[in-house]
Amino acid sequence: MATKQSYAAEEAAGRVLPCVAPLAVDPVPEVRHAALATLEAFVKLLQEHSATRDSAAGPSDAAGGAQQVKKRKQYVTYAVAL
């Protein structure tokens, strides 16, 4: 995880976490523990990124952001329903 800071939040969410998540249920304890530690580190990176974006968003951004979230939620609901 020494290279954690080398990843942008989008890349961590889209490329790293999907590859590491299946290893969290690996039958080998060492693999499972390393995967869980990696997931924790990258989720923390995403939380920090989210906090930074939240503090940078102004009041006018909040209304537009809520509409985007609603639209994305519809897409996710559709994708999960498939």
Give the gyration radius of the chain's Cα atoms. 16
Q: What is the full per-residue pLDDT of the chain (82 aa) written as tens digits?
A: 667 777 889 998 999 999 999 999 999 999 999 999 999 999 999 999 999 888 877 655 555 666 666 666 666 665 566 6
For position 38, what pLDDT does the model report?
94
For position 34, what pLDDT does the model report?
96
What are the boundaries of each domain within the chain? Answer: 4-81
- pTM comes to 0.62
For position 24, what pLDDT does the model report?
97
Rounded Cα distance between 82 and 80, Å, is 5
Contacts of 50 (CB under 8 A, 6+ apart): 9
